[in-house]
Chain A
């Protein structure tokens, strides 16, 4: 095989390989992403009923209640407009607490409770996840707009 042909073969193999890999990767990606919803969106029924998604906001004060088995915890998450109740079984991260920003991943139950499989921990107490920060801002703007239009 001549050098030129060889190089062409390599390039062709490379292009085909990258193409196949990219299409496989993208289709796998589509089934592996989880969307973020705020409590307001969940209460407005915008969140999927069956799929896993992420719910984030602030943990409502005095809402954390540990259940009888010692491992299940109930708490409520708010964006200062709406509130969603969350149930999680397992050990909570150290920085989890009332008034703190939190992101949870799980499914919405038929009873309107969000059953979390994962609660995200943060390294820094002053950190607010960007999604939570923006949903709080939206809820705040909506609240101001509502207050103004009612008058």
Chain B
């Protein structure tokens, strides 16, 4: 009964979405206040019904209702409680429901936090979000209903895929979807601006915080996914340039370009049409990502079983969204173009460079990801693109991004003097160069790392020192720590947000440079009592024992790690066999540190004397990659608390006469 309520709630939500897409939009053109006023209650209603559907699925999992096919395929009476919750988004149907829930939640948030927006704008934004919602609800109801019944009812479920029974992966998809879906708000704002012909600084100020929240979620979601892959897959890799990973990276890159371009549109009124195009582009890439992940057209190490009819549906949906929004753009964009002028040497120019470089990387990743599809379609054979290509492309473009980042943040809007910049930044540049040279001289570098390591370290130091120079300039006329603190908590929050996020980039560069060039991997056969040396650490293997888990049997290895004569860690890697699926899983054991990780994973038993094939890794600075991403996210969060997003929108309500009198 309860699953039917969930199903019915989804149908009702679809009905509401249709009304939400039609009436407020029509009302915004006919100036019908009542129709426009429907937008907010409808957005709330949609959230209510999708939440009911979500609760129904949650209940089915909690009650082990294996008459629901989705529950039978992804849960089991022995599945631990917390994974009965995360199993909801453990496979295709449920993750779509989560998508829809987030979309409705974003819609309700727009309805709730838009008291200062003109009604026609709210009506249009929510109508566009209603249209997106129609697409996803139809997709779910037609091809992937999570409430489908199964007959005969199996006595026991198949259990959640063991790889997904992990705290990292329990929260990774929700974060990622928050980001993907969040860009639908930026998309809806862009479409609404095109429809209304109103594209100004106020528009950019409205859509900026929304876009930043989505970007922060996506940043943290990707970092979580990378961290999960690192410890759960047992290969010690943190990024594989796999299609599924690229699918999340592309909207992130485009979204990063978008938040920078929005800054220009808000502050200077320039780049208007480009910003709109990026907003359309970012959301389209989110949809493309969903298509790639769910259609199974590409071979991926992360691939899950898929269904081609779903691929066709998403492809059609994608064509409607991209085609429709680009057509609207072509028709309306010329009417809203124009904007602030700027000199060649100005912050606008550097942000434009940032946008071009980020777009270039996005296109390269897109090319590498879609190349197998292109080859297949042209009958050139079945290919895959190796990750060295992606690495080369990334290393070729990103140094320029870091280089210009340091100059751009120092440059003034509209016009600046190169001499002034040279005066402010020469010390930062010298320190970075010294760091690079010192790296080249003092680090044990081979011929393959001689160029890349000093480059990476030099760039990271440059990002740090140039931003410190920027901070010094900002605080030149402020005295003492208290003044800085009041600047930070007062009007300067978006500046400090930028600063923290950019320092995150510096940290990220150090992490990538070190772990890519100095990590060690050893595949070895060890007998109990054997020791192995790696990077100055001695690993002693003490053997493997059997152990019983809640829904798995485990073989648990035991290692002692010594540095010199001192024992610094004990590691307990596991090999698990899950009862319901008979699937085996490697659980690596990691001794994490700020400057290095030690990582051991079990392969398989060899012979009968207790020998094991196993892998030992030494991963220097690998944590800096994720810490950098966390800093980027924190910076984004700090930026959206900036006072002007609250006070400035209120100022718009000031009567025109009063504003003119003041100004």
| Contacts from A to B (Cβ < 8 Å) | 1, 3, 6, 9-10, 14, 17-18, 21, 24-25, 28-29, 32-36, 54, 66, 69-71, 89-92, 94-95, 103, 120-127, 129-131
Decide: A70 near B613, CB < 8 A? Known: A123-B163, A125-B583, A127-B304: yes
CB-nearest residue of chain A relative to B393?
A25
Cβ–Cβ < 8 Å partners of B299 in chain A: 103, 120, 129-131
Decide: A126 near B305, CB < 8 A? Known: A35-B382, A35-B383: yes
Q: Which of B194-202, B283-291, B591-599, B600-608 contacts A (4 or more CB under 8 A)?
A: B600-608
> In the docked arrangement, what's the CA distance between A44 and B305, Å?
31
Is there an interface contact between B613 and A91, defined as CB atoms closer than 8 Å? yes
Decide: A29 near B161, CB < 8 A? Known: A35-B381, A36-B381: no
Decide: A21 near B583, CB < 8 A? Known: A70-B611, A130-B297: no
Cβ–Cβ < 8 Å partners of B601 in chain A: 91
Is there an interface contact between B611 and A95, defined as CB atoms closer than 8 Å? no
Cβ–Cβ < 8 Å partners of A17 in chain B: 356, 360
Interface of B is mostly: mixed
Cβ–Cβ < 8 Å partners of B474 in chain A: none
Is there an interface contact between A127 and B303, defined as CB atoms closer than 8 Å? yes
Q: Does B581 contact A (CB under 8 A)?
A: yes
Q: List 29 A-B contacts (CB under 8 A).
A: A3-B341, A6-B343, A9-B344, A10-B352, A14-B356, A25-B364, A25-B393, A28-B392, A28-B393, A29-B385, A32-B388, A33-B375, A34-B384, A35-B383, A54-B384, A71-B524, A71-B613, A91-B613, A92-B604, A94-B584, A94-B585, A95-B584, A121-B301, A122-B303, A123-B301, A124-B161, A125-B581, A126-B305, A130-B299
> In the docked arrangement, what's the CA distance between A35 and B382, Å?
5
Q: Does B76 contact A (CB under 8 A)?
A: no
Least Cβ–Cβ distance between A69 and chain B, in angstroms: 7
Additional A-B contact list (17), CB under 8 Å, known A35-B381, A125-B583: A6-B344, A9-B344, A21-B397, A29-B368, A32-B388, A33-B371, A33-B383, A54-B384, A71-B603, A89-B523, A91-B601, A92-B603, A95-B583, A121-B301, A124-B303, A124-B304, A130-B296
Q: Does B331 contact A (CB under 8 A)?
A: no
Q: Does B367 contact A (CB under 8 A)?
A: yes
Is there an interface contact between B386 and A33, defined as CB atoms closer than 8 Å? yes
Is there an interface contact between A69 and B385, defined as CB atoms closer than 8 Å? no
> In the docked arrangement, what's the CA distance between A130 and B300, Å?
10
Least Cβ–Cβ distance between A91 and chain B, in angstroms: 4
Is there an interface contact between A33 and B384, defined as CB atoms closer than 8 Å? yes
Q: Does B488 contact A (CB under 8 A)?
A: no
Is there an interface contact between A91 and B163, defined as CB atoms closer than 8 Å? no
> In the docked arrangement, what's the CA distance between A35 and B601, Å?
31
> In the docked arrangement, what's the CA distance between A121 and B525, Å?
21
> In the docked arrangement, what's the CA distance between A48 and B234, Å?
32
